[in-house]
Amino acid sequence: MNQRALFLHHVAQTSAAPLALEITRADGCFLYDAAGKEYLDLIGGISVCNTGHRHPAVIAAIKEQADKYLHVLVYGEFIQSPQVQYAKLLADHLPASLNSVYFTNSGAEATEGAMKLAKRVTGRTQIIAFKNAYHGSTQGALSVMGDEYWRNAFRPLLPDILHLDYNAMASLDFISNKTACVIAETVQAESGVMAPSPAWLLALRKKCSEHGVLLVLDEIQAGFGRTGSVWAFEQFNIVPDILLLGKALGAGMPLGAFIADRSLMRTLTENPVLGHITTFGGHPVSCAAGLAGFKALIHEGYILSVKQKEAVFKNLLVHPRIREIRAAGLWMALEFDSFEINKKIIDRCLENGLLTDWFLFAPQCLRIAPPLTISDQQIETACRVILDACNSI
């Protein structure tokens, strides 16, 4: 059997038509397949590779840590320098109330931990989430996913979940003294890069504070400079009670986190003891990689050019087939008339060496989320390929 046949036979499939590219190498903003074909990557591993593929500092940190130790014991028992240093660096770049980091394996696990923490802190059970929200695919995270098509096959899910309209003032009336937490994406991802009005997020923060409800902001995709600031919530002048991170947190290695004030996080240490545990969460190699990647983002100035690069994309991507461009930094949704048209454009781009994708809840939209290291010249190349694809169908 060749590699493709082995992939289809032995690797569990989640799609009837996977891309099935055999990637043998990645570097910077490019992927390379087994035939040596080069692909300019406009997805970045779904907002994972913000510092590009295999940033030299990240690779060096991985090698250095691998020479010291890998897994040593269940999370939270031993002092492991990569965890400690990374938690401190994250806290240094967050508001004072977000000072205690719980590392997980993924963003979905961060969602699970935050839901448990909110229930433990408040003693309440009701959780409010929003339609077209995506917070992961595990049972708890699926329960707060905002689309019944994806939830329905796996019911029964968690009880006492309300799904409300995002960016709607009327939704805030449902927040009450029975609510443990409200979980929201600062900018909705899978609905096609939907940013709320600043007034709505401010009102959401105020309503949560009035009722002793924890505000959980999911920046699993929006964080680490994707929208033009280190954290998207900075642009809305609010601070969450719990912050969810993942994707770019590990700079290409698996890593997630939920972050809160130490006074909240300590509730997981008693009644019961070990209220939240993980074996591999905060793996030392992942933390070493993430630490190096975050330092590169901060010190090499990639975030400072995000808005300028957004403007280059928007200025070039003008075509009658493109109905709308929604953007939050280097994170964009190009809306077409239908999924069928979008898929043809995506496939044509792939043929011409450009990797793009669509959104779960907005399949008519083409996803743009490249490494933040992408150059203006590479942006121009990407836009030319997309426009050529628009012209060809």
For residues 235 and 287, membership in a common domain is answered with: yes
Per residue in 200-238, pLDDT tens?
Answer: 999 999 999 999 999 999 999 999 999 999 999 999 999
**pLDDT bracket for residue 17 (50, 70, 90):** confident
Output the domain CATH number for residue 13.
3.90.1150.10
Output the domain CATH number for residue 173.
3.40.640.10
For residues 46 and 64, membership in a common domain is answered with: no
| pLDDT reported for residue 94 | 98
- Residue 318 predicted with pLDDT over 90: yes
For residues 85 and 163, membership in a common domain is answered with: yes
For residues 292 and 311, membership in a common domain is answered with: no
Q: Give helix 284-299 / helix 81-92 axis angle, nearest 10°.
A: 30
Single residue among 258, 283, 299 that ends a domain in this structure: 299
* DSSP code, position 252: T
Which residue shows structure tokens 């991802």?
Answer: 189
| pLDDT reported for residue 4 | 85
| pLDDT reported for residue 392 | 94
For residues 202 and 213, membership in a common domain is answered with: yes
How much is the average pLDDT of 346-368?
Answer: 97
What is the distance between the alpha carbons of residues 22 and 78, in angstroms, rounded to a whole number?
39
Per residue in 151-184, pLDDT tens?
Answer: 999 999 999 999 999 999 999 999 999 999 999 9
Contact status, residue 28 vs residue 53, Cβ threshold 8 Å: yes
Single residue among 299, 328, 359 that ends a domain in this structure: 299
Per residue in 127-147, pLDDT tens?
Answer: 999 999 999 999 999 999 998
- Residue 95 predicted with pLDDT over 80: yes
| pLDDT reported for residue 188 | 98
For residues 119 and 166, membership in a common domain is answered with: yes
How much is the average pLDDT of 33-48?
Answer: 96
Single residue among 299, 319, 346 that ends a domain in this structure: 299
| pLDDT reported for residue 29 | 98
For residues 115 and 237, membership in a common domain is answered with: yes
What is the distance between the alpha carbons of residues 312 and 392, in angstroms, rounded to a whole number?
23
What is the distance between the alpha carbons of residues 219 and 244, in angstroms, rounded to a whole number?
6
For residues 266 and 318, membership in a common domain is answered with: no
How much is the average pLDDT of 53-78?
Answer: 96
Does this model's pTM top 0.85? yes
Tally of structural domains, the chain: 2
- Residue 16 predicted with pLDDT over 90: no
Encoding tokens for residue 71? 């897994």
For residues 157 and 266, membership in a common domain is answered with: yes
**pLDDT bracket for residue 76 (50, 70, 90):** confident
**pLDDT bracket for residue 275 (50, 70, 90):** confident
pLDDT more than 70, % of the chain: 100
| pLDDT reported for residue 116 | 98
What is the distance between the alpha carbons of residues 300 and 382, in angstroms, rounded to a whole number?
23
Q: Give residue 377's domain range.
A: 3-54+302-392
For residues 45 and 92, membership in a common domain is answered with: no
What value does the mean pLDDT of the chain take?
96
- Residue 1 predicted with pLDDT over 80: no
- Residue 5 predicted with pLDDT over 80: yes
Q: Is the link from the previous residue into 272 a cis peptide, with omega within 30 of 0?
A: yes
For residues 175 and 202, membership in a common domain is answered with: yes
| pLDDT reported for residue 8 | 79
The 10 Å CB-count burial string (b at 16+, else e) for 77-113 is eeebebbeebbebbbeebeebbbbbbbbbbbbbbbbb
How remote is the C-alpha of 322 from its chain's centroid? Answer: 25
For residues 185 and 236, membership in a common domain is answered with: yes
Contact status, residue 127 vs residue 176, Cβ threshold 8 Å: no
